[in-house]
Chain A
Amino acid sequence: EVQLLESGGGLVQPGGSLRLSCAASGFTFSSYAMSWVRQAPGKGLEWVSVIYSGGSSTYYADSVKGRFTISRDNSKNTLYLQMNSLRAEDTAVYYCAKAVASHDAFDMWGQGTMVTVSS
């Protein structure tokens, strides 16, 4: 069964840091691009970052560029998101998502992990 399981969310103060993890199983993790997508409470979906299969190519939304770092460990089938200098507007459910082979869409999503930035 294809599965993505996020962890690492929680409550953090503004300016703080958090690292999210996403454990993948049921598919050849190293063959696919992976993304993080977030959803603020009661709001729509916002793409955050992508990392291609080899790990050398990464891209970020302008809203997180310079503060977030995406990475992956293909030997551990795990995706990461290091979040620094967190702001209140980063409060959201963070989903990891597997891209289809053409990178056009996301065909598998985790259940999400909640990040709350508040003092």
Chain B
Amino acid sequence: EIVLTQSPATLSLSPGERATLSCRASQSVSSFLAWYQQKPGQAPRLLIYDASNRATGIPARFSGSGSGTDFTLTISSLEPEDFAVYYCQQRGNWWTFGQGTKVEIK
């Protein structure tokens, strides 16, 4: 099973700041890496698929990069609605998720 490790566990930032979230895979997943945003009491929302492609309707301030084992989600300038938990997810033989990074208001 491919294990995804996200860091940091919590990111404390202010609106307008840049957020950089990391996801590392235990073995190569090529570019089969997605990112989701989840707010309390809501279902996850797909942000990025295939490492760098924004899903439909996702603002340009969200960007993804990386390949192989190291991936990054960047939020260029945090809006108030961006404070949430973010998960990465890979599709190898099966689908697995990282443990999440909480982006909280500083």
Contact = CB atoms under 8 A, between A and B. Distances in A.
Which secondary structure characterizes the binding site on chain B? strand
A57 interface: no
B97 interface: yes
B43 A47 contact: no
B46 A107 contact: yes
Which residue of A44, A108, A111 has the most chain B CB atoms within 10 A of its CB atom?
A44
Contacts of A108: 46
B46 A105 contact: yes
A47 B89 CA distance: 10
Which secondary structure characterizes the binding site on chain A? strand
Interface of A: 35, 37, 44-47, 50, 59, 61, 95, 100, 102-112
Contact of A44 (B32, B50, B99): B99
A25 to B, nearest CB: 16
